[in-house]
Amino acid sequence: MNGMGLYEERNTWVHRSDPVTKLFYGITVSAIPYILPYMGVAAFFLCLNILLLVLAKVFKKILPILFLSFFLMLSIVIVHGIFHPDNRTPLFSAGGIHFYREGLSLAALLIIRLLNMICGFGVVVLTTKPDLLVNGLVQTGLSPRIGYVIHSVFRIIPQMAATVNKIKDAQRARGVETEGNLLTRAKALFPLLVPVIMSSLIATKERTMALELRGFGSKGKRTFLKEYEEGRYSRQARWFFLLLLFGSAVWRVLI
């Protein structure tokens, strides 16, 4: 894991694309399948996101995140396939439990939406340096405080993962068993959890003090070390994504 969050350094056109425009893209392709409740729409955007991840050479990096969502997807299939109130047509049985066509169709749509959202924001997160994205957003008019929140969201997972690994190494050095069967891992959870929470609280306090010392709350005019350079067709692309969202909403209302 590198020092800039989940970002993966690659020399591709996806990485070189305007960071603010990529954020607009991620929001648009994630929102439209929820606005338009059609399987084909969600599947189209999912395929588009997978294609971009492959072209950006970061598809392997999204797989662990998809794997973590497996149990959520399994629960969606079970809940809707068995208990959905619109279930009418039995499709198959497993262990005497009936799964219904209506519930499974809805579960499939929800799962594709979920995968699409993960991959859509994966395109943004894995190919965009957080510093460049936040810098661009702030220079285009976003509040610096909101920009800081966005930057923190990009970095929180890698920072927590690094903290957990350090604490696990320290616990092993003290003779605490952190690897093994499920029971062993469960026993090691509490000794691991407390230091992680305390470290996070201390880091938050230190970060707050550092921000104040650097004039984060200043009301004066801000200057930037690196000026944001908008891409050639970035503005047109952002307007296109906004119109796409607006058109989808109008279509949903009218149909």
Tell me the domain boundaries of the chain. Answer: 1-129+230-255, 141-227
pLDDT tens-digit profile of 100-147? 999 999 999 999 999 999 999 999 999 998 888 888 888 887 777 777
Q: In the numeric block, which tokens belong to residue 228?
A: 């944001």
111 CB contacts (<8 Å, ≥6 apart)? 73, 76, 77
The DSSP-derived string for the chain is: --TTTT-----SHHHHS-HHHHHHHHHHHHHHHHHS--HHHHHHHHHHHHHHHHHTT-HHHHHHHHHHTHHHHHHHHHHHHHH-TT--SEEEEETTEEEEHHHHHHHHHHHHHHHHHHHHHHHHHHHS-HHHHHHHHHHTT--HHHHHHHHHHHHHHHHHHHHHHHHHHHHHHTT---SSSHHHHHHHHHHHHHHHHHHHHHHHHHHHHHHHHTTTT--S----SS-----TTHHHHHHHHHHHHHHHHHHHHH-
pLDDT tens-digit profile of 18-76? 999 999 999 999 999 999 999 999 999 999 999 999 999 999 999 988 888 888 999 99
Q: How far apart are CA 34 and CA 209, in angstroms?
A: 40
